[in-house]
A and B are shown apart, each in its own frame.
Chain A
Amino acid sequence: MATALALVFFYAPIDGDQGLSQKIFYIHVPIALTSYACFGWGAAKAFLHLWKRSPGADLESYAAIHQGVIFGALTLVTGSIWARVSWGTWWTWSSNQLVTFLILFLFYSAYFMLRYSVEPGPARANMCAVYALFGVVLIPVSWLSIRLANDFIHPTVFTSNGPQMSGSMFLAFCVAWAGLLTLAGTMYRVELAGKRLDERIRELRELLA
C-alpha cells in the first residue's frame, strides 16, 4: 500500500483534464474491483457449499461477503467524493453504473438480515448460499451496464481497446489494486480465524458445562 501511495502521488502524472482530483481514481476503482472480487469469492464458496457440502464453506462465504460490503461502502463513499469534485454533485440517479452498484451493495447488505434472522444450522447455510449465488449475477450487470448503455456521466477507462491511460498511470493503478486485494485477503483471513475461534470456544464451553 505504501508503494502504491508513493506511485500515485510521486510517479503517476497529474491528469490534464481532471487535475489532482483524478488521484481518487487510484483508490476508488481498485476498491470497487476488490469489492466485486470479494462478492465473487463469497458466491464461489456458496456454490462449493451447495455442490460439495465443503465444511466451512458457509462461513468462508459469509466472511467474503462481509469484506465485500465493507469495500462496497468505501466504493460508494470515495465515489461520492470524486463525483462532488468532478460533477459538482454527491450522487446522480441517471448513471447506470452508480445505480447498479448501489443495488449490488444493498442486495449483499440484506444478506446479513437474512443470515441473522434464521437460526444457525444447515437450513440457514443453504438459504444464505442460494442468496449469495443470486447476487453474483449483479456483478457482470454492474460491470457491463455502463458499456451497454449510453452513460455519458460515469467515465469508462477500461474499454475493448485496453486501459485508456498512460503506462505510469496504469502501473500505479495495478500496484494500488494489488495492495487492496492483499488488504482484503488479510482482512478475510483474520475475520475467518476469529469466527472459527468463536465456534471452537462455543463448542468447548458446551463440553465443559
Chain B
Amino acid sequence: MSTGEKYVAAAYLVVFVAVLAWVAIIASKLSRLERDVDELAELARRKVGSD
C-alpha cells in the first residue's frame, strides 16, 4: 500500500467511523427513550388503577 493510498483510506475511514459512532449514540439514546416510555406506561397504569 502506497503512502497516498494509506492517507486516502484514513480520510474515508475517519468519516465512516464518525457515522458509525453517531449511529451507536442514537441507538443507545433510542433504548433509553424506550425505557422511559416503559416507565411512563407503568406510571400511567398505576395511576389508572388507583383512580
Binding site for B on A (CB under 8 A): 19-21, 23-24, 27-28, 31, 70, 73-74, 77-78, 81-82, 84-85, 183, 187, 190-191, 194, 197-198, 201, 204-205, 208
In the complex where A27-B15, A74-B15 touch, is A208 in contact with B7 (Cβ < 8 A)? no
> B residues within 8 A CB of A20?
2, 4-5, 8
Q: Are A21 and B44 in contact, with the CB atoms below 8 A?
A: no
Residue count of chain B within 8 Å CB distance of chain A: 24
Q: Chain A interface mostly helix, strand, loop or mixed?
A: helix
How far, in Å, is B5 (CB) from chain A's closest CB?
6
The contact sample of 11 A-B pairs, CB cut-off 8 A, is A19-B4, A20-B4, A28-B11, A31-B15, A74-B14, A84-B7, A85-B4, A194-B30, A201-B36, A208-B43, A208-B47
Q: Are B11 and A208 in contact, with the CB atoms below 8 A?
A: no
> B residues within 8 A CB of A81?
7, 10-11, 14
Binding site for A on B (CB under 8 A): 2-5, 7-8, 10-12, 14-15, 18-19, 22, 26, 29-30, 33, 36-37, 40, 43-44, 47
Q: Chain B interface mostly helix, strand, loop or mixed?
A: helix
Residue from B2, B15, B26, B44 within 8 A of A190 (CB atoms): B26
A96 to B1, CA, bound (A): 33
Q: Are A208 and B40 in contact, with the CB atoms below 8 A?
A: yes
